[in-house]
Amino acid sequence: MTQTKRDTQGINRRQFVVMAGTGVAGGLIGCAVSPAKQEAGVQPLPGVVPQYIAVNQDLCSGCRICEQVCSEFHYGVFNPTFTAITVNRSYGGSGHWIKTETCRQCPNPWCMRVCPVDAISRDRKTGAVVVDEKKCIDCGDCYTACPFGMIQRQPERKKAFKCDLCGGDPQCVARCPMSALSLKPQIWKQHEFGGVDNA
């Protein structure tokens, strides 16, 4: 019997579930992951307050100006397929509804964890999770991994892209005519970063 087996033999199912809930099990599992993946939840620089774009759905009119602003700022075109913020709406038989979605800038993002070429990282100056297009190979793993569907694909460039908070000054927030978008501070617990503390 190996040392590893002896060390884990006494852990029953209930204990494992408890450990997983506190991030301890995640740390054990993370030992089998590459060092780059273990640091998937790397924190922003000291003094940087991580933020995300929050949506007040009650104020959103569904005008989609945010989509136009996003695509114009990043790619110089007004194209809804090149936007990292999405506005879904219905005015038909299913009732009137509008739902605007933004990236949560997760503390330990699945998109970053599954990327096979480490093309997704956290900008420590802004706290945003960003995609390096030069490294991206358009494998599609991040599209599948994001539980919120906030990783987009550029059909022409064949690269993944997502909200990068416009380098710290999100244009959609600044130019929303209804003031439905705002920057909110993230409230993260240490274990959500996989035990990594670079602050």
Give Cα separations from 48 to 108, 122, 190 (angstroms): 17, 12, 15
179, 57 contact by CB (below 8 A): no
Start-to-end C-alpha separation, the chain: 40
Burial of 66 (0-12, 13-18, 19+ CB in 10 A): buried
> 10 Å Cβ neighbour count for 182?
15
Mean pLDDT within 71-93: 89
- What are the residue ranges spanned by the domains of the chain? 1-32, 35-187
Q: Decide if 40 contacts 108 (C-beta within 8 A).
A: yes
The predicted-structure confidence for 31-72, as pLDDT tens digits, reads as follows 334 455 556 678 788 888 889 999 999 999 999 999 999 999
pTM: 0.73
Non-local CB neighbours of 49 within 8 Å, separated by 6+ positions: 127, 185, 186
Mean pLDDT of 89-98: 77
Q: What is the pLDDT of residue 23?
A: 40
Mean pLDDT within 14-37: 41
Contact between 143 and 133 (Cβ < 8 Å): no
Alpha-carbon distance of 188 to 108, in angstroms, equals 10
Question: What residue type is assigned to position 104 of the chain?
Answer: R
Taking the C-alpha atoms of residue 149 and residue 102, their distance in angstroms, rounded to an integer, is 9
The CATH architecture assigned to 35-187 reads 2-Layer Sandwich (3.30)
Buried residues in 114-147 as b, exposed as e (16+ CB within 10 A) = bbeeebbbbbbebbbbbbeeeebeeeebbbebbe
